[in-house]
């Protein structure tokens, strides 16, 4: 079973290229430590929400954009060993000291996939979501997302992933639980959909939302606190 480290951060717009280069410099080290894929996606179609949204999740300023990012590992054991190495590697510490954004507002955590449908590789566009799900609804949520994934893939999506909160720490400034106002009886799901391009994504959602199977799949969580948005990958290796 694979394992995901998920990240959301606020990056100054003026630092977009600096961030991309910073992330690119980290790829060889993460790969050396066992990661199989690193994706960094820049906010493109990220709406303001009435209750929660990506901008509020990381206290983004007017001159900042949100990054939706993840690392994929073969399993949790590999990820845990990687994090141990990262904490003790001088090169990673130096890289961390040069972050072109406010690391205190970055939210991060470990997630275990409960749904991974499709064969996504290099993605042209990403829909990212954070979802608060009651722990008692885990299986109902998985089944709901499985049904939706069938429709989304028919509409052009190449991969649909829903990963259950497993190692999600509380933060001093921001964290995943605060991002979606999760209760003690809920887990945060880190979810994404991969598309070949934004154009395919836009047409795909138009088609999917008119498909009755999407509504029939149900929504075993509070949709008002779900965070979602579209992101354009700036690094995918």
Closest CA relative to residue 41, chosen from 221, 210, 192, 189:
192
Predicted structure pTM score: 0.96
Q: Which tens digits make up the pLDDT trace of 7-51?
A: 999 999 999 999 999 999 999 999 999 999 999 999 999 999 999
Q: How far apart are CA 215 and CA 100, in angstroms?
A: 42
Print the domain residue range for 85. Answer: 3-236
CATH number for the domain that contains residue 133: 3.30.70.100
Which structure tokens are listed for 30? Answer: 């993460």
Number of domains present in the structure of the chain: 1
Q: Which tens digits make up the pLDDT trace of 46-76?
A: 999 999 999 999 999 999 999 999 999 999 9
Q: For residue 87, count other CB atoms closer than 10 A to its CB.
A: 10
Q: Where are the alpha helices (DSSP H) in 6-159?
A: 16-32, 54-57, 76-88, 90-97, 138-154
């Amino acid at each position: 079973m694979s394992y995901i480290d998920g990240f959301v951060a606020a990056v100054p717009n003026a630092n977009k290229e600096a961030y991309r280069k910073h992330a690119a410099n980290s790829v060889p080290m993460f790969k050396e430590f066992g990661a199989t894929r690193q994706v960094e996606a820049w906010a493109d179609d990220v709406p303001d929400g009435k209750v929660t949204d990506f901008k509020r999740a990381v206290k983004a300023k007017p001159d900042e954009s949100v990054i939706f990012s993840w690392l994929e590992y073969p399993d949790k054991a590999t990820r845990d060993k990687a994090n141990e190495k990262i904490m003790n590697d001088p090169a990673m510490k130096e890289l961390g000291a040069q972050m072109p954004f406010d690391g205190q507002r970055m939210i991060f955590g470990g997630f275990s996939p409960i749904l991974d449908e499709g064969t996504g590789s290099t993605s042209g566009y990403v829909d990212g979501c954070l979802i608060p799900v009651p722990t008692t609804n885990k299986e109902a949520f998985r089944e709901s997302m499985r049904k939706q994934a069938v429709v989304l893939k028919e509409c052009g999506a190449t991969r649909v992933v829903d990963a259950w909160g497993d190692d999600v720490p509380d933060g001093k400034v921001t964290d995943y639980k605060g991002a979606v106002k999760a209760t003690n009886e809920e887990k945060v799901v880190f979810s994404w959909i991969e598309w070949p391009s934004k154009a395919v994504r836009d047409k795909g959602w138009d088609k999917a939302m008119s498909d009755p199977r999407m509504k029939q799949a149900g929504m075993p969580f509070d949709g008002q606190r779900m965070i979602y948005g579209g992101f354009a990958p700036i690094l995918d290796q």
